[in-house]
Chain A
Amino acid sequence: MSIAKRVTLPVLCAAALVLEACPTVRVPELMDASRTTAANPGNYPLKVHLRSGDLLVLSSWSDLPGDSGLAGRGSRYDVRRRLVGSFSGGIARDSIALLEMTRGQVASPVGSVVLGVYTVLAGAVTIACLADPKSCFGSCPTFYLDEAQDRPVAEGFSGSVARSLEATDVDYLAEAHATGRGFAITMRNEALETHAVRSVRLLVAARPEGGSVVAAGDGRMYAASEPTAPARCESRDGDCAALVSRRDGRAWFSRADSTDLGASDSIDLLFPAIGGPAALVVTARQSLASTYVFYQSLAYAGSRAGEILAAVEREGASAFGGAWTLMHRLGSVEVLLRSTDGTWRPVGAFGEPGPIAADRQAVPLGSVAAGPVRLRLRFARGAWRFDELGLVALGSLVRPIALDPARVERGGVADTLALARLRDPNRYLVTNRGDQYRIVFDLPADGANLEFFLESTGYYYEWMRPEWLREENPAMLALIAVNPAAALRAMAPGYARLEPRFEELFWASRFGGR
């Protein structure tokens, strides 16, 4: 949708709605019977009050010659104002008591202005959000399946906000169901960002009998049993088992601490005995806490943001280590296993940057002892949304087949240049807001028996926005650099104010113009 359409449509709608919100006031004006009736402003009928008490409502009328009366057509009402019938003819002047004209006015009480402004704002936000949901609710390169073009199934390399931070991201495509030898996915850039995509590959592996393939955080893949739901899930807020027992989009989450975004939270899980090598399978996505911290940090950097990002390019994340400490604190879920002696032992971590699409990762636990398995997840309060937490028995390592794109289409037309760039590991496909590419892969076997993972490599640059420059704050920037924990405490009240409606009204903040 072009900018002109985006602006024009809401404005036209708003104007119409504001006019709709203004009531019409009918102001009666009495005239002596001797006055001429030629002038009656507006489109209202003329009311003729007769001396008998009856009323004539005339839709058309004219003066009779010699000022003897009126002629007209309309309706006649008796004193009880019951309709007597239609009227057509002359009316003697001396039978007329009064003439009544009606003047229409559009009243503009303050209420109309209030409702008009509200309607305009609500309409504009809603229309903008419907036209481009991701500009309201998300960011980063996103991927869509052909059969679900309205919902991203993966987001690529969300943490790679500079070239030096280029990374490879592997996302499990839980909803991908291919039949035959073809598979397509659409990559979109819907944010105020420039994406540099080095490669997009499809990793496929044969689905094991009665199970699935799971990917660990280090990229290794395993054959695994189907996940077993926890027998018990205890959070600070109470029982969470129902929400995390299966992947259904209903996620458990907690509110962030309003005094410290780094405040710790935990979930305790109890699984039935499994024995042998096992893994915790986590399907989750980040809340918007990390998004808030990242963009608030950019806002504090203000006019220095470019300089800082350039330093990150030269020196890597260490150039602004405090910021990465913040992001790591919010972007990691520590997994602990309860030993037979009652102590909690760290066994791994889950981390998937980005608040848009949930990813599934396995956290290998090693060989667990016989008996129930007790796990604790430790994470920053309010930073995560857990959709599924399940225990699987791990099988052998799986080597997936990595598929390069076979075709790339843009606007329904083959784009050989984009294809060449995605297939060449030394070049990037650079995309800007609004770009989208349909990437087609040729499968080595019938897709019905395969598990799919998307591997994307690249980085992206945020476009600076004027709003960010207004919040430049060198003191907060320094605090982030030297004392990240204190910075998380300082940012907590601001996030707490936004949090209840942040998911819904993401666009309304400085981040919303994405």
Chain B
Amino acid sequence: MRELGMVLALAFGVAGGLRAQATSPQVDVTGRAITLLMVRGPQEVRGELLAVRRDSLWVLAGRPERVVAVRLRDVSEATVRRHGWTAARGILWGLGVGAASGVGLAVACGKVSCGSGGALIPGSMLVGVAVGGIAALSYQYSSRWRFRPVTEVKLAPFARFPQGPPPGGFDVLLRPTRDSVVVRP
């Protein structure tokens, strides 16, 4: 039973750790991560969604940070982070379960001198990675909301300022570094 407990603890530990990582804070006080596919200008804009209006939206992007203002009509598709389970986490889950299972099987194998214990852990981990890889494709797809066409009503709930830009504008958001810049449309 000691080995059983060990395997369960390992499996739950991996699962719990990944889940904790995947769960964002109870309430996000900033906007969601957004990726915009553009029909003109830069091919793609990524960053935090700050605000959205009927014809424009603003994204806090890049390092150094800058506020990028974009015309909605120039955006072909917007994707917004839905949950934190990414492809990497799917693979890690599979790997963790595979490792836990491999350890358990190797322990069981050792008890009866089956002679192949050494291959069990890497073999089981490989299977875990393969299964995790399949799951990763699904997580990668489901971890985003996709919006096309892009409208104010759809995106506003995910913005830091769903009511629109704050009275003082966005300059105050930028860190006071020499490189900070506001890019206007």
Contact = CB atoms under 8 A, between A and B. Distances in A.
Interface stretch (B71-79, B152-160, B177-185): B152-160
Contacts of B27: 44-45, 47, 57, 102
B61 interface: no
Given A23-B83, A130-B104, A53 B157 contact: no
A97 B51 CA distance: 13
Contact of B30 (A81, A137, A249): A81
A236 interface: no
A499 to B, nearest CB: 11
A114 B156 contact: no
Count chain A CB atoms within 10 A of each CB in B4, B123, B141 and give the residue with the most: B4
Q: Tell me which of A25, A112, A119, A150 has the highest count of chain B C-beta atoms within 10 A of its own C-beta.
A: A119
Contacts of B157: 28-30, 100
Contacts of B30: 81
Contacts of B83: 23-25, 107
Contacts of A138: 112, 114
A122 B105 CA distance: 10
| Chain B, interface residues (CB within 8 Å), range | 35 or more
Interface residues of A, number: 65
A311 interface: no
A504 B15 contact: no
A123 interface: yes
Looking at chain B's contact residues, the main secondary structure is helix
A179 B115 CA distance: 29
A98 interface: yes
B124 interface: yes
A13 B27 CA distance: 30
A118 B97 contact: yes
Interface string B109-124: 1111111100110011
B163 A51 contact: yes
B161 A49 contact: yes
A133 B3 CA distance: 12
A130 B15 CA distance: 21
Contacts of B115: 249, 251, 253, 385, 503
B35 interface: no
A303 B16 CA distance: 49
A422 B78 CA distance: 80
B58 interface: no
A130 B7 contact: yes
B94 A118 contact: yes
Given A137-B109, A503-B114, A16 B139 contact: no
Contacts of A249: 113, 115
A52 to B, nearest CB: 7
Interface in B82-105: 82-85, 90, 93-94, 97-98, 100-101, 104-105
A111 interface: yes
Contact of A134 (B112, B132, B143, B167): B112
A136 B108 contact: yes
B54 interface: no
Nearest to A57: B27
Contacts of A25: 82-83
B41 interface: no
A53 B29 contact: no
A411 interface: no
A177 B150 CA distance: 79
B172 A79 contact: yes
B39 interface: no
A363 B8 CA distance: 47
A97 B156 CA distance: 13
A506 B6 CA distance: 22
Nearest to A1: B1
B101 A151 contact: no
A111 B138 contact: yes
A506 B134 CA distance: 26
A111 B139 CA distance: 6
Interface in B1-30: 3-4, 7-8, 11-12, 15-16, 19, 22-24, 26-30
A80 B108 contact: no
Interface in A120-169: 122-123, 125-127, 129-131, 133-134, 136-138, 150-152
B29 A111 contact: no
Contact of A150 (B111, B158, B168): B111
A45 B28 CA distance: 10
Contact of A79 (B3, B123, B173): B173
Interface in A382-433: 385
B27 to A, nearest CB: 5
A147 B105 CA distance: 22
B112 A152 contact: yes
A109 interface: yes
A373 interface: no
A21 interface: yes
Contacts of B141: 109
A127 B4 contact: yes
Contacts of B168: 53, 79
Q: Which of B3, B111, B124, B173 has the most CB of A within 10 A?
A: B111
Interface string A5-43: 000000001001100110111101110000000000000
A133 B111 CA distance: 7
List the 3 shortest-distance A-B pairs measured between CB atoms, nearest first: A53-B166, A111-B138, A111-B135
Given A30-B162, A123-B101, 7 more contacts: A111-B90, A111-B135, A111-B137, A123-B97, A129-B105, A151-B110, A249-B113
25 contacts: A20-B19, A21-B19, A23-B143, A28-B162, A47-B29, A51-B167, A81-B30, A107-B83, A109-B85, A109-B142, A110-B142, A111-B134, A111-B142, A114-B131, A115-B93, A115-B94, A122-B97, A123-B7, A123-B8, A123-B97, A125-B101, A136-B108, A137-B109, A150-B110, A150-B111
